[in-house]
Amino acid sequence: MVKTFKLNTDQTVDRAFKIDYAALLNEQQYEAATQFRGPILCIAGAGSGKTRTLIYRVARMLESGIAPDNILLLTFTRKAASNMLDRVAALVGNEGKAVAGGTYHSFAANILRKYGHYIGLKSSYSIIDEGDAGDIINFLRSELGFNKKESRFPQKKTVAQMFSKANNLEKTVPDIVSAFYPQFEEHSEDIERLHEEFGKYKLNNMLLDYDDLLIYLHRLLSTSDAARTAITTRYRYVMADEYQDTNGLQARITFLLAGENRNIMVVGDDAQSIYSFRGARVTNILEFPQAYPDCRIIRLEENYRSTRPILEAANSLMESAREGFKKTLVTQKGSGDLPACVCCEDEQEQAMFVAARILELREQGIKLNNMAVLFRSSFHAYQLELELKRRNIPYVKWGGFKFLEAGHLKDVISHMRIVQNPYDQVSWLRVLLLIEGIGTHSASEIFKHIRFAQNPYDLSTVKARAKAEKGLQQLSKMLASASSLVNSPPARLLEIVADYYFPILKERFDDYPRRFKDIDQLAIIAGKFATLSDFLTDLALEPPKDSVDEALAPETSEDETLVLSTIHSAKGLEWHSVFVIHALEGRFPSLRSLKSEPELEEERRLMYVAITRAAENLAISYPSQIWDPATGSLLARPSRFIEEIDSNLLEPWQIARQ
């Protein structure tokens, strides 16, 4: 007779948990956070606790004895991922840090290093960014002779965008050209040809661009049973935040990762979908129940972030939305001040107003790091930045110009990249061009030699002009000692590269002292990584600090720094007081979007995201007129989004100069 042992697997019983989940979460949140098995879709508005639910869910899993290794948390930015895992760690201790978290791209990069060989990918592949892609396209274009065309061929950046759009929308390049770039229709065939060459080039040089990371990950998961089994055995519980901004491929990757475990939870808000220009599909949320007909659908209707007036303004804005599920959020938080709608005379007055008001709020006890200024495009903040500097208000800026786009940092990284992947042509060309006496032509010739050389770092037999000999020798010498460090932590390698590069830098830039400091900064970052490949992957995917300003901001002892951010980079975050600036037709909504209804809708959602970042205090401001030199037009109408919000819900402010 077989005896039956009854094992209670009901995880909803709070027995020995340190955290009182039921008290900290509302009923729906609690359900989502304590059910680990099976598919769950959580669809809910801004500030309703979606991210909080995920954080507590991970904590609960760890407390229930699930190994951190088995959990995968995907989010939209790395900042968001590390932020969430920090919060998990604060709840349950260091185990939280061992959970795998990151963006789809960074996850793909790691998985491909480990399992890429199942689909013939060497683990030493390099990741190229948009700038590198542009350089390669330029190179191929001249190889193909397309630069000699009489009529205007699209610029390298535009071509790179076409390729990426084709990937993200899963369309052919000619389709993309005719749909989005009809002005280049006559070049469609050539562009397609260039696309093929670009693909071959990347393959031959072991280069992956951002889109390739997802494409290869998908290929790995869908074609290699062995790899998929290994991966899904490891990551048994998969979660994705901000699911409304995933594209079609990411959705399919999500399904493959969930695999037979089917322990998958995605959360999102269709009203906050702001990346359709990159192929994000709100429909991923709608289609989730089709992929998993047995999924639990959890809706969160209560907003815990914003005061009633702020939320009412947000709801009112979305009443004019053309599409989407209608959902009106309610808040438990009491009343508060009406959001201010501030008309300023010009850009400068707007900057002065924002700075002065920030100081006023600070006087009232609100810390700078509890305030943020948000804008549609990075350049909208220039004037304000000057004003903040003038008044000594410390700030960081997110979005816009990236730390690593600075030429000197790319130079350093390129040297490190050829140590990792000696066939990385883009990096070689960059490195060779830094040597005196070497131009584009000889650089390509030298690379041909390198590609077939026994030892690619030995440049002694390279034919070059006499003027270049010394430089090549020094490079060769440096690479000889650097190449032995390929499997060591990157800090030492960076030192060697920097020693070699400093004289070049000094020769090239008048402001070299400032640039030296950037490289020091990079060295500090490098010090945090155990392997070169981790370091390079990390940098390529998303610089640890979003912008030069941020990376170089002095580490203040208290966290008293104001945030300036593009709205895209502010996703998922919240502040006590928020300023939305440049709410002006032509700026926000942007000039480009005025002609297309879907784009306008996306701008509206962007405004919704901006407004819903505010907890207590919101000011939307605009200069009453500005001259836009780029288009030669006068912008002089407040944003239509201000007009769409019921006028009783905003308090008009005017500026009286004293």
Would you name the residues annotated as active-site residues? 50-51, 241-242, 272, 613
Contacted by 29, from ligand ATP, Mg ion, none: CB < 5 to 8 Å by type: ligand ATP
Rounded Cα–Cα distance for residues 266 and 150 (Å) = 51
Residue nearest to ligand ATP (CB): 49
Residue 269 binds which entry of ligand ATP, Mg ion, none, CB below 5-8 Å type-dependent: ligand ATP
For the CB of residue 331, give the shortest distance to ligand ATP in the complex, in Å.
Answer: 10
> Measuring CA to CA, how many Å separate 243 from each of 62, 240, 288, 447, 572?
23, 6, 10, 43, 12
C-alpha 210/C-alpha 45 separation (Å) is 30
Question: Per rule CB under 5 A, is residue 116 in the interface with Mg ion?
Answer: no
Strands 633-635 and 626-628: antiparallel
Which of 63, 51, 54, 49 is CA-nearest to residue 20? Answer: 63
First to last CA, the chain: 94
Q: Which of 50, 57, 515, 605 binds ligand ATP (CB under 6 A)?
A: 50
Residue 572 binds to Mg ion (criterion: CB under 5 A):
yes
- Interaction between residue 48 and ligand ATP (CB under 6 A): yes
29 binds ligand ATP (CB under 6 A): yes
- For residue 446, the SS3 value is helix
Q: Which of residues 40-79 bind Mg ion (CB under 5 A)?
A: 50-51
Cα separation, 481 vs 621, whole angstroms:
57
Rounded to whole angstroms, the Cα distance separating 508 from 502 reads 10
Minimum distance of ligand ATP from residue 12's CB (angstroms): 17
Question: Nearer Cβ to ligand ATP, position 151 or 332?
Answer: 332
Cβ atoms of residues 422 and 457 within 8 Å: yes
Of the two residues 50 and 402, which places its CB atom closer to ligand ATP in the complex? 50
| Minimum distance, C-beta of residue 317 to ligand ATP, in the bound complex (Å) | 15
User: DSSP assignment, residue 377?
Assistant: S
Residue 604 neighbours by CB under 8 Å, 6+ apart = 317, 318, 320, 321, 589, 641, 644
Among 11, 14, 22, 26, indicate the residue that binds ligand ATP (CB under 6 A). 26
49 binds ligand ATP (CB under 6 A): yes
Structure tokens at 549: 């300003």
The residue (of 28 and 164) whose beta carbon lies closer to Mg ion is 28
Q: How far is the CB of 77 from ligand ATP (least distance, A)?
A: 12
Q: Least distance in Å: CB of 490 to ligand ATP?
A: 34
Count of residues that interact with ligand ATP, criterion CB under 6 A: 18
Per-residue x/- marks for ligand ATP, 296-325, CB under 6 A? Answer: --------xx--------------------
Min CB(57)–ligand ATP separation in Å: 11
From the list 50-58, 345-353, 623-631, 632-640, the region that binds ligand ATP by CB under 6 A is: 50-58
Using alpha carbons, select from 484, 492, 478, 494 the residue that is nearest to residue 539.
494
* Binds 25: which of ligand ATP, Mg ion, none (CB < 5-8 Å by kind): ligand ATP
Distance CA 257, CA 238 (A): 7
How many CB atoms lie under 10 A from the CB of residue 187?
20
Give 50 or 60: the residue with its C-beta nearer to Mg ion: 50
Which CB sits closer to Mg ion, 66 or 240?
A: 240
In angstroms, rounded to a whole number, what is the distance separating the alpha carbons of residues 127 and 115? 16
Nearer to ligand ATP, 497 or 609 (CB): 609
Contact by Cβ (8 Å): 631, 591: yes
In sign, the C-alpha dihedral spanning 162, 163, 164, 165 is: positive
Q: Does 102 bind Mg ion (CB under 5 A)?
A: no
Kindly state the smallest distance separating residue 457's Cβ from Mg ion, in Å. Answer: 47
Nearer to ligand ATP, 21 or 184 (CB): 21
Rounded to 10 deg, the angle between the 532-541 and 407-420 helix axes is: 140
* From 47, 259, 279, 399, residue interacting with ligand ATP (rule: CB under 6 A): 47
Q: Quick check: 244 binds Mg ion (CB under 5 A)?
A: no
Q: Which of 32, 33, 43, 46 binds ligand ATP (CB under 6 A)?
A: 46
Size of the site for Mg ion (CB under 5 A): 3
Q: Which tokens belong to 530?
A: 């155990």
Q: 288 by DSSP, 3-state: which?
A: helix
**E strand map for 488-592:** 562-566, 575-580
CB neighbour class for 469 (10 Å; exposed up to 12, middle 13-18, buried from 19): middle
Plot region of 120 (φ>0 → left; ψ -120 to 50 → alpha; else → beta)? left
Question: Cβ of residue 51: shortest distance to Mg ion, in angstroms?
Answer: 3
Cα gap 68→120, rounded to integer Å: 30
Residues 234-273 binding ligand ATP (CB under 6 A) are: 269, 272
SS3 40: strand
**Residue 77: contacted member of ligand ATP, Mg ion, none (CB under 5 to 8 Å, by partner type):** none
* Contact pick of 51, 75, 106, 370 for ligand ATP (by CB under 6 A): 51
Angstrom distance (rounded) from CA 522 to CA 493: 12
Partner touching 49 among Mg ion, ligand ATP, none, CB below 5 to 8 Å by kind: ligand ATP
Task: Report if residue 166 touches ligand ATP, rule: CB under 6 A.
Answer: no
Residue 561 contacts which entry, ligand ATP, Mg ion, none (Cβ below 5-8 A, type-dependent): none
Binding positions for ligand ATP, rule: CB under 6 A: 25-26, 29, 44, 46-52, 269, 272, 304-305, 572, 574, 612
Binding positions for Mg ion, rule: CB under 5 A: 50-51, 572
